[in-house]
């Protein structure tokens, strides 16, 4: 198992989210995982929660992010955090894709990302992946979207 992998040698996972496909590359260690995810224009996930804290950096594009009762437009060069067990979702209101670098702690790897690469040295034991609780919550949370500025949705 390597401590290093070339990104262009990694396979990309296509993850179905609602009515769109998100492409991802994922690496992980003992304490955290890192995902590079590109969401297509029009992407709109459902409100959900999971056991992991999430720290994100928007590489390209922009996305509306909703965390509990707050929302903000995150653009390329911006950072944001989703606390563990916080209700959250994202919405790209344009037709342009958005690429986000996402760090999760503890490790967040699931069967929906079969090409995730473990980054461990030869002398390190790879611990078993612990299941992460993730589930969708009521779409009633989406009512907060009504507070977006007029003309936001194209």
CATH code of 63's domain: 2.60.120.10
- 140 within a domain of the structure (yes/no): no
Domain count, the chain: 1
- 137 within a domain of the structure (yes/no): no
Note the pLDDT of residue 154: 59
The Cα 117–Cα 109 span in angstroms is 10
Parallel, antiparallel, or unpaired: how do β-strands 13-17 and 20-28 relate? antiparallel
- Put the strands of the sheet holding 88-91 in their side by side order: 70-75, 62-67, 88-91, 48-50, 134-136
pTM of the model: 0.91
Note the pLDDT of residue 1: 58
- 143 within a domain of the structure (yes/no): no
The Cα 36–Cα 117 span in angstroms is 12
The Cα 46–Cα 63 span in angstroms is 14
In terms of pLDDT, which residue wins out, 19 or 62?
Answer: 62
- 62 within a domain of the structure (yes/no): yes
Instruction: Name 89's bridge partners.
Output: 66
| Cα–Cα nearest to 134, from 47, 17, 16, 27 | 47
The answer to whether residue 131 scores a pLDDT higher than 90 is no
Provide, rounded to the nearest whole percent, the portion of the chain with pLDDT above 70: 97
The Cα 51–Cα 110 span in angstroms is 13
Q: What range does the domain containing 68 cover?
A: 7-123
- 18 within a domain of the structure (yes/no): yes
- 110 within a domain of the structure (yes/no): yes
The answer to whether residue 34 scores a pLDDT higher than 80 is yes
In terms of pLDDT, which residue wins out, 67 or 136?
Answer: 67
- 144 within a domain of the structure (yes/no): no
How do residues 39-61 score in pLDDT, each as one tens digit? 999 999 999 999 999 999 999 99
Structure tokens at 121: 């040295």
- 138 within a domain of the structure (yes/no): no
The answer to whether residue 89 scores a pLDDT higher than 90 is yes
How do residues 95-129 score in pLDDT, each as one tens digit? 999 999 999 999 988 766 789 999 999 899 887 77
Q: What is the mean pLDDT of the chain?
A: 91
């Amino acid at each position: 198992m390597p401590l290093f992998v070339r990104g262009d040698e990694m396979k990309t996972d296509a993850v179905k989210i609602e009515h769109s496909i998100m492409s991802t590359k994922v690496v992980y260690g003992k304490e955290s995982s890192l995902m590079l995810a590109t969401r297509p224009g029009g992407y709109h996930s459902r409100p959900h929660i999971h056991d992991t804290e999430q720290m994100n950096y928007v590489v390209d594009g922009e996305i509306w992010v909703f965390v509990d009762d707050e929302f903000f437009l995150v653009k390329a060069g911006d950072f944001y955090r989703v606390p563990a067990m916080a209700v959250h979702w994202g919405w790209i209101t344009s037709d342009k894709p958005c690429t986000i670098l996402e760090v999760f702690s503890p490790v967040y790897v699931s069967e929906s990302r079969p090409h995730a690469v473990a980054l461990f040295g030869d002398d390190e034991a790879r611990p078993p992946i612990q299941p992460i609780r993730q589930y969708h919550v009521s779409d009633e949370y989406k009512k907060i979207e009504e507070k977006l500025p007029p003309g936001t949705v194209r």
